[in-house]
Amino acid sequence: MTQKSSKLPEPKPGIPKGTALLNDPLFNKGSAFTMAERSALGLSGLLPSQVCTIENQVERVMENYHKKSTDLERYIHLVSLQDRNETLFYRVIADNLEAMMPIVYTPTVGSACQQFGHIFRRSRGMYISYEDRGNIAQVIKNWPSRDVRVIVMTDGERILGLGDQGASGMGIPIGKLSLYTACCGIAPSQTLPVMLDVGTENETYLKDPLYMGLRQKRVRGPEYEAFVAEFIEAAREAWPNVMIQFEDFGNKTAFRLLEIWRDKICTFNDDIQGTAAVTLAGIFSALRLTQKTLLDQRILLLGAGEAGVGIGDLIVTAMVDRGAKLEEARSKIWFVDSQGLVVKSRTGLAEHKLRFAHDFRQIPNFVDAIEAIQPTAIIGVSTLAKAFSREVIEKMSKINERPIIFALSNPTSKAECSAEEAYTWSKGKAIYASGSPFPPFNYEGKTFVPGQGNNCYIFPGVGLGVVATKSKRVTDRMFAESARSLAEQTSQADLDMGRIYPALNRIQEVSAIIAAAVAEVAFRDGLAGVPKPANTLDLVKASMWKPEYESYLVK
C-alpha cells in the first residue's frame, strides 16, 4: 500500500519568500529559520544547514562586536545588523543595554553623523528633499508601511552640539527611533525616520564628494515653513494616528515650528520638552538628597537655546503646580548666554528669552553670575566644553552644602565638566548629572555613580503612552507627569551612590510606568482615541513589541 504523503506546512499571509525574505530586515531570521519554514518559504539551500537559536545568533554578534577596535566600528557593525535582521538587532540591544546605549546613540552617533556619507551602506527611512515640494504626498506613498505611529524628523541644522550636519544628521532620527523600540517596545515597523533635506551651511560637506544631501545653502523663511507644512499634512493624511517628533532643528526654527504645530497635530520637540522633563526629574531626585523644596531653588542655566528655555519653562510649570505665582516662579530661573546674564536692559534678545529676562544689572560672564545670583543649581546646555571650571564648582560648593551640577551638553566632548571634575573640585559634595555617560568615580574611598540625564528616560515612555491611547496631542502636562514618574522610580539605593536616575537596565520597566502616567493624562484631558481600560499599565504593556522570533507558518 502506498504511504500517503504528508502535507507541507502553509506560510502565513503577507510573509515574503526566498531571497526577498532574507533581504527584508523586518521579517528575516537568518540562520534561525526552522527546516519547516525553509521548505514553506523557498529558503531551502539558501542558508547553512544548522538551525540556530536567537541566543546563538546574539553570541555570534557579540563575538564580532568585541573584535572591533573603535566605537565607530561597533556602531557600523550594529547598524549593519539592523539593516539585515531587526529582531536580532533589538535582542542584542536589550541584552546589553548599558553597553550599547552609548554606541547606538550619544556619544557615538555624533561621530557617525560626521562620517555619514563615508560609512553609508544602506538607506533607512525617508529623505524628503526640497526638490520634492509639490509632490511630497506622492513621494511618501513609496514607504511600504501603512501603519506608521512615530516619526522622528530633522533638517540636520543643529545636531547634538556639532552644529549643521545637513543630510548627514539622519543618524539622529535613526538612532532615536532605535531607542523607541529598545526602551519601550514601539514596533520597528511602526517607526519612520525622516530627513527634511533643505541644504546645509556646512562648507566642508558642500565640498565633500561623498556628502549625501542637496549641495546648496539652506532654504529659509516662508518657503521653508511651507515645505515643512506640506510634509506634515501629507504624513497625517497617510498615517492618521502618527505622532511627529521634531529633533535637532536650529534654535529659532525649533521654537517657531513647535509654536505653529503643537496645538494642531500630535507632536513635540524632544530637545525642548524631553530634555526639560529629564532635567526636572533629576532636580526632583536631587531635592531628596538636599532635603529642600522646589520653591527653595534658584537655578542658573548656561545656554539659552531650545533645551535651556524648555527646561526653564517646565520647572516654572512645576513650581506653579506647587503654589507659586507665575512671575515668582520665573524669578527663580536665570540664564547666561554668549553675551552674559539675560536681563531686561539688554537689547536684541530673542523672543524665547524675554520671559526670563530679569530686572537686574548686566553681568558679562558665568562666574560673576554665580556670585551675584547665588544659585542652588547650575545646568549646562551650552555645548561649551569645560565651561564649569574648577572656580565654578568651588564657588557653587562654597554657596551650597550639596550643589546641584548638571552638565548636560552632548556629546561627551561638549560636556561642561566631567563627573571626576565635579566630584573632585566639590570634595564629594556635588549632586551631578551629565548628558552623555561617565564611568563611576572613587573619591576618598566613596564610589560615585554619576546619573545620566538622557532623554531616553522620557521620550520613549511619552511616545508609548501617546501611541497606546491614540492621543490627539502631546501636552506639557504629559511631560510634567513623566518627570514626576521618573523621579519616583529612582530608589534610595540609587541616591546613596550618587545616581539621580534609575539604572538603565530598568529602562523598559521605567518607560512602561511613565507611559501609563502619560496615558492617564490623555484620558483625563479628553485626548485619547480609545476607551479607558480598567488598568492603564496593562494597556501600555500590551502595546509593547518584544524582540522575539515568531513562527511564519500556519498552525
Give the Cα separation of 243 and 262 in Å (integer): 11
Give the Cα separation of 203 and 251 in Å (integer): 20
Find the largest Cα–Cα distance for the chain: 104
- Specify the pLDDT at position 437: 87
Average pLDDT, integer, range 152-179:
96
| Residue 7 among the catalytic residues | no
The torsion angles phi and psi of 407, rounded to 5 degrees, stand at -105, 90
Catalytic-role residue among 105, 180, 205, 224: 105
CATH (one of 3.90.1150.10, 3.40.50.720, 1.20.58.190, 1.20.1370.30) for 18-96: 1.20.1370.30
Average pLDDT, integer, range 314-320:
95
Average pLDDT, integer, range 468-490:
96
**102-265, what's its fold?**
Rossmann fold (3.40.50)
Instruction: Give the pTM.
Output: 0.92
The domain segmentation of the chain, as residue ranges, is 18-96, 102-265, 273-456
Using alpha carbons, list the distances in angstroms from residue 131 to 8, 69, 213, 227. 50, 40, 11, 10
pLDDT at 53 over 70: yes
Average pLDDT, integer, range 498-510:
94
Dihedral angle over CA of 185, 189, 191, 194, nearest 10: 150
CB–CB of 39/99 below 8 Å? no
Average pLDDT, integer, range 108-120:
96
Helix (H) or strand (E) holding 246: strand 243-246
Catalytic-role residue among 176, 332, 395, 541: 176
End-to-end CA distance of the chain: 29
Average pLDDT, integer, range 329-340:
97
The full 3-state SS of 319-381, as one line of letters, equals: HHHCCCCHHHHHCCEEEEECCEECECCCCCCCHHHHHHCECCCCCCCHHHHHHHHCCCEEEEC
Give the Cα separation of 240 and 217 in Å (integer): 33
Using alpha carbons, list the distances in angstroms from residue 541 to 186, 310, 455. 11, 29, 21
pLDDT at 481 over 70: yes
Domain 273-456: CATH superfamily, name plus number: NAD(P)-binding Rossmann-like Domain (3.40.50.720)
Eight-class DSSP state of 553: B
- Specify the pLDDT at position 372: 97
pLDDT in tens, 529-546: 999 999 999 999 999 999
Give the Cα separation of 168 and 389 in Å (integer): 32
The residue assigned the cell 550639596 is 402
Q: Do domains 18-96 and 102-265 have the same CATH topology?
A: no
CB–CB of 439/449 below 8 Å? no
Cis bond before residue 411 (omega within 30° of 0):
yes
Eight-class DSSP state of 494: H
| Residue 105 among the catalytic residues | yes
pLDDT in tens, 251-305: 889 999 999 999 999 999 999 999 999 999 999 999 999 999 999 999 999 999 9
- Specify the pLDDT at position 6: 60
Over the Cα atoms of the chain, what is R_g? 24
- Specify the pLDDT at position 544: 97
Eight-class DSSP state of 12: P
Average pLDDT, integer, range 184-200:
97
